[in-house]
Amino acid sequence: MRVFVKVCGLRTVEAALAAVDAGADAVGVVFSTTSPRRIDEAGARAIVDAIRGRAETVVVTNDMDAAAAAALTARLGADILQLHGPYAASDFARAAEWHPRLWRATSLAAAGELSAGAYGDEAILLDAPRPGSGERWDLTELVARRPAGRWLLAGGLTPGNVADAVREAQPWGVDVSSGVESAPGEKDLGLIRTFVSAARSVGESGR
């Protein structure tokens, strides 16, 4: 099975194109006020326009009103809105009125329902306790509590460990941000290419 690969926290068209050229299925832009990867609407629009038709584009937030975030996603013409953290089912319902394609990002520490679709979402992203921190998940607990349906593994993934993580956890997809950076918020194009290649190598050899 071919693993789905998302590269998140992109802030330049150059990095987004590098991710897609390497074979990434999705790129993410972050609208969270405390993140070193945050982007403004003009920057996000440039990335969405450059990638349109080549890969999925994902708007990510953890501190915007859900309906406002969904309206922003629709305005940008992005494909997916990823609501990260303590959003309730009612928030997803309000967001769906503006933009129908939603992903739900959570962690094992905070997760309630671990079935994709429980909040009207099409996929779950399972992150480290502190998103964007580079912290890794507890693999033993992860395997015991593997989500149902489509889910992406995130948190502490790097070019050096993603292949083993995919083999052991068997997620539908993987998401990387800090693991392909030379400094917080600064993507390394070489690391992006190496990460996508490493993740793809598992799908090609079977898992």
Q: Over the stretch 66-92, which tens digit does the pLDDT of each residue have?
A: 999 999 999 999 999 999 988 999 999
Cβ 207 vs Cβ 1: under 8 Å: yes
Residue 48 has pLDDT above 90, yes or no: yes
Identify the CATH number of the domain in which residue 155 sits.
Answer: 3.20.20.70
Summary mean pLDDT of the chain: 90
Dihedral sign (CA 126, 37, 29, 70): positive
Return the structure tokens found at 148: 């149902």
Would you place residue 45 in the very low, low, confident or very high pLDDT band (cuts 50, 70, 90)? Answer: very high
State the Cα–Cα distance between residues 62 and 151, nearest whole angstrom. 18
Residue 23 has pLDDT above 50, yes or no: yes
Q: Which residue has the tokens 């501190």?
A: 63
What percentage of residues in the chain have a pLDDT greater than 90? Answer: 74
Domain of residue 73 covers 4-205
Number of domains the chain is built from: 1
Q: Give Dmax over CA atoms of the chain in angstroms.
A: 42
State the Cα–Cα distance between residues 76 and 79, nearest whole angstrom. 9
Return the structure tokens found at 157: 């993934």
pLDDT digits (tens, 9 = 90+) for 141-154: 676 777 888 999 99
